[in-house]
Amino acid sequence: MGFDDERGDHSHRQIFPYNSEELIVGGMQKVGLDPKNIKYVLISHAHSDHIGGAEMLQARYGPTSSWRADWDSVASIRTGTDHGAETRHCRHRRHEGDARHYKRDIWLTPGHTPGTLSYTFTVLDRGRPVNVAYSGGTAFNFVNNTPDPGIKNFQIYIDSQQKMAERAAATRATVLLANHSEFDNAVNKNRMLAGRGSGPHPYEIGLIGSSAISR
């Protein structure tokens, strides 16, 4: 299971086709994971800095999943005009709230893009289960400078964040991740890990409800 995040140091290295093997395959191998075990690649949304390497992974290891609302926009990209053009030939699937296939829950949260996907899932911290809420699309990059369709677009975004707040509360999530590290302070949290010792994990912020999602 791989997320198309760019968590790391100040370089904010994004995943494009030219560096996807280094960052995804190489990164997995560094932490002892075998890329051959990849079953699904879940893409949060169809922006070029979040879909790099999708076709490479699919060709080697399996299918790529995305929502039709975003997939059509990727498929329309002309070769050479966008770093995400390589995904034109990838297959897609759609499953919301489907833990059967992915062993985590997937939620359609339009706003950032029409087909933005967010997730709730469980990870282990030193053997202890920790519940995570991951927002697949943050920032108001939709049309918002005119009342029409700005008001409607903002409401779609707000509704999706409220939906994620409900999902986070229902799963008792204590970690909130964003799709860009500047929105969840990931760079500083990663630095704090080096001196954590026996203390709490810096990514845990307590039970997440509507106020945390709103922030």
Buried b (16+ CB within 10 A) or exposed e, 28-42: beeeeeebeebebbb
Give the global pTM. 0.77
In order along its 215 residues, the chain shows pLDDT tens digits of 334 344 444 344 566 667 888 888 999 999 999 998 888 888 888 887 888 788 888 888 876 666 667 877 666 654 444 433 344 444 445 445 543 444 468 899 999 999 899 999 999 999 999 999 999 998 898 999 999 999 999 999 999 999 999 999 999 999 999 988 888 999 999 999 989 999 999 999 988 765 555 55
Strand partners of residue 176 = 133
pLDDT of residue 64: 62
121 vs 115: CA distance, rounded Å: 19
Backbone angles phi, psi at 131, to 5 degrees: -95, 135
Nearest one of 77, 112, 37, 41 to 20, comparing CA atoms = 41
Report pLDDT digits (tens) over 48-58. 788 878 888 88
> Is residue 213 helix, strand or coil?
helix
124 vs 63: CA distance, rounded Å: 26
pLDDT of residue 85: 39
pLDDT of residue 92: 47
pLDDT of residue 56: 85
Q: Is the peptide bond before 149 cis (omega within 30 degrees of 0)?
A: yes
DSSP state, residue 113 = S
DSSP state, residue 77 = P
DSSP state, residue 145 = S
> Is residue 202 helix, strand or coil?
coil
What is the number of residues in the chain? 215
pLDDT of residue 59: 85
Q: How many CB atoms lie within 10 A of CB 45?
A: 26
